[in-house]
Amino acid sequence: MTTSNYHVAVVGATGAVGQQMLKTLEERNFPIGKLTLLSSKRSAGKEITFKGETYIVQEATPESFEGVHVALFSAGGSVSKALAPEAVKRGAIVVDNTSAFRMDADVPLVVPEVNEEDLRNHNGIIANPNCSTIQMVVALEPIRKQYGLTKVVVSTYQAVSGAGLEAIEEMKSQTQSILNEEEFTPEILPVGGDKKHYQIAFNAVPQIDLFQENGYTFEEMKMINETKKIMHMESLEVAATCVRLPIETGHSESVYIETEKSGATVEELKGLLQTAPGVTLQDDPANQVYPMAADCVGKEDVFVGRIRRDLDRDNGYHMWVVSDNLIKGAAWNSVQIAESLVKLQLLS
């Protein structure tokens, strides 16, 4: 097989993440021989341009995956549950960006900077973690490797684009209504499928995804469970509070950690992160240099700054972790998994 004849399918091609996937495939010049763009029935028929060529989006069916080498899914959990096994049956490897299979024991959950080798154990489906998990583990892994890790407490500052294009539109139109002192009715956020909807403009909403029995949201449980799985640390203490904010793109995270070995200096942690794969260190308080959501948009890296020692515990540290939730948090991590599959010669 030459390096330019993979048949790639993108499922959910018209969505916020799907569009970013296509942009990333184009920018990375992924070796595509044939491209199939799929969607729900509702979006089928739309036209999308890729590398100057026009494609018509087709309704995804089991037969759509005949001859496909790798299928990138981002069309919601129910689509993945129905069609990912069909794609695998037809010989495709599925990289699934939904939460449908993430915690399945036989499905690798992969962030290439952390656990690329887990790809070797795939059984057809590979799961792409939740956006807020991905950026955190990229920042934590270099520290874990050197000093070990025992505890993580994270509070997130999440953008609305994680909830889709409709959520972005809702935020913008609500914001304009408030500036104009006009009435409005929240209809989508915090969670499209939940009972109540709340104002997102000029507000902070401590709910992302549905609530579970234990009082945590599903988004929070995703961060907790996925972090343990990706880092292979079942006993790692992880706690999360996930909050939606009036930001279009770019998730930020306030992360408190405790390391196994005590006494690493801030300079040592900065040194580790400066050379870590996928990380850009932005940490110079004297010159007001720190990561911000508005600066990360359109970039692949995870930006880390505000690294400082806890004032009480010798093994405690605080940091601020920012990344484009549609890129490293979704599209780029999925394409990166596809690239790793090529590199590890797992795609054929």
Residue 339 makes contact with a second copy by CB under 8 A: no
Q: Which amino acid is at 138?
A: V
Nearer to a second copy, 171 or 338 (CB): 171
Q: Of 69, 122, 242, 251, which residue is the catalytic one?
A: 251
Inter-residue contact 200 to 244 (CB < 8 Å): yes
Nearer to a second copy, 105 or 311 (CB): 311
Q: Of 131, 197, 232, 318, which residue is the catalytic one?
A: 131
Minimum CB–partner distance for residue 176 and a second copy (Å) = 6
Q: Which of 132, 252, 259, 334 binds a second copy (CB under 8 A)?
A: 252
Tell me: is residue 17 an annotated ligand-binding position.
yes
Inter-residue contact 32 to 6 (CB < 8 Å): yes
Q: Using CA atoms, how far apart are residues 275 and 296, in angstroms rounded to an integer? A: 19
Tell me: is residue 192 an annotated ligand-binding position.
no
Residue 299 makes contact with a second copy by CB under 8 A: no
Tell me: is residue 244 an annotated ligand-binding position.
yes
In terms of DSSP H, where are the helices of the chain?
A: 16-27, 77-89, 112-115, 131-147, 165-179, 218-230, 266-274, 293-296, 332-343
Nearer to a second copy, 3 or 287 (CB): 287
Residue 56 makes contact with a second copy by CB under 8 A: no
Whether 131 is catalytic is: yes
Angle at the Cα of 165 (from 52 to 75), degrees rounded to 5? Answer: 75
Residue 147 makes contact with a second copy by CB under 8 A: no
Inter-residue contact 212 to 221 (CB < 8 Å): yes
Among 246, 175, 171, 234, which residue's Cα sits nearest to residue 205?
246
| Greatest CA separation for the chain | 61
Please give the full DSSP string across 166-214, using - where no structure is assigned.
HHHHHHHHHHHHHHTT------SSS-TTSS-----TT--B---SPBPTT
Nearer to a second copy, 116 or 258 (CB): 258
Minimum CB–partner distance for residue 201 and a second copy (Å) = 8
Tell me: is residue 120 an annotated ligand-binding position.
no
Q: Using CA atoms, how far apart are residues 189 and 206, in angstroms rounded to an integer? A: 11
Q: Which of 254, 299, 342, 346 binds a second copy (CB under 8 A)?
A: 254
Minimum CB–partner distance for residue 251 and a second copy (Å) = 9
Residues of span 301-330 touching a second copy by CB under 8 A: 305-313, 316, 318, 320, 322
* Cβ neighbours of 30 (radius 10 Å): 19
* Cβ neighbours of 73 (radius 10 Å): 31
Q: Which residues are annotated as a binding site?
A: 14-17, 42-43, 102, 158, 161-162, 244, 325
Query: Catalytic residue numbers?
Result: 131, 251
Per CB under 8 A, residues contacting a second copy are 151, 153, 155, 157, 172, 175-176, 179, 190, 194-196, 198-199, 202-207, 211, 214-216, 224, 237-239, 241, 243, 245-248, 250, 252, 254, 256, 266, 285-288, 290-294, 305-313, 316, 318, 320, 322
| Residues of the binding site for NADP(+) | 14-17, 42-43, 161-162, 325
